[in-house]
Amino acid sequence: MKKFLRFSLVLLATAVVLRGCIFRQVIVYQTVGQRNAYPLTNPDLKVYLSDNARLPEHCTATDIINRALTLTAERLHFTANNNPVDPNRLYETRTAHCVGYAAFFVTVCNYLFKENGMGDTWIAHQHIGKLYCFGVNVHPFFGTPFFRDHDFVIFQNRQTGEQIAVDPNMYDYLYIREISFR
């Protein structure tokens, strides 16, 4: 029994440490569309972003993405209820589903890229996607329209074409930063 318990604890600890790698191997996001970004119009949101915008002089796109993930997770809480998706309103309501999370995250990222001199190089786009678990689309297994798709964000380097995909919901719940996509 001790060996089984020890093995289980080691297995659990390994799964926790490697959760991002495991998630990226098991779950793949497929883009089926894209949403337009919202203009930043809320003065309180502008102040919030301005107060948190400056990063070290030689920061990378990953540094900005990480800061934006933290700011988004600090400001929003997930709900399955009907919510606005405009980041200017979400700043006040503080609750969002995946569409709102992605919209808020895109707004934060694009603001941070611009303020840190990377606005001409990097851009964030909100994507509508389907989730595949071991190659199987999981959305038909849910009978509610709420689960018909899932929004996430793709960052693109305009000069090199490099792309990075992030799901701010997965970061908020599981601290998984990057995701696999096609």
Question: Is residue 79 within 8 Å of 97, Cβ to Cβ?
Answer: yes
Q: Provide the 10 A C-beta neighbour count for residue 163.
A: 11
One of 3.40.50, 3.10.620, 3.30.930, 3.30.70 is the CATH number of 28-181, namely 3.10.620
The candidate with the shortest Cα–Cα distance to 104, out of 73, 79, 133, is: 73
pLDDT mean over 76-81: 90
pLDDT tens digits for 38-67? Answer: 999 999 999 999 999 888 889 999 999 999
Q: Provide the pLDDT confidence category of residue 88 given band limits of 50, 70 and 90.
A: very high
The alpha carbon of 129 is separated from its chain's Cα centroid by a whole number of angstroms, namely: 12
The pLDDT of residue 113 is 96
Query: Minimum mean pLDDT among 45-49, 85-89, 126-130, 170-174: which range?
Result: 170-174
Q: Provide the pLDDT confidence category of residue 118 given band limits of 50, 70 and 90.
A: very high
Domain ranges in the chain are: 28-181
Contacts (Cβ under 8 Å, ≥6 apart) of 42:
87, 88, 89, 91, 92
pLDDT above 80: residue 163:
yes
Residue 126, amino acid: Q
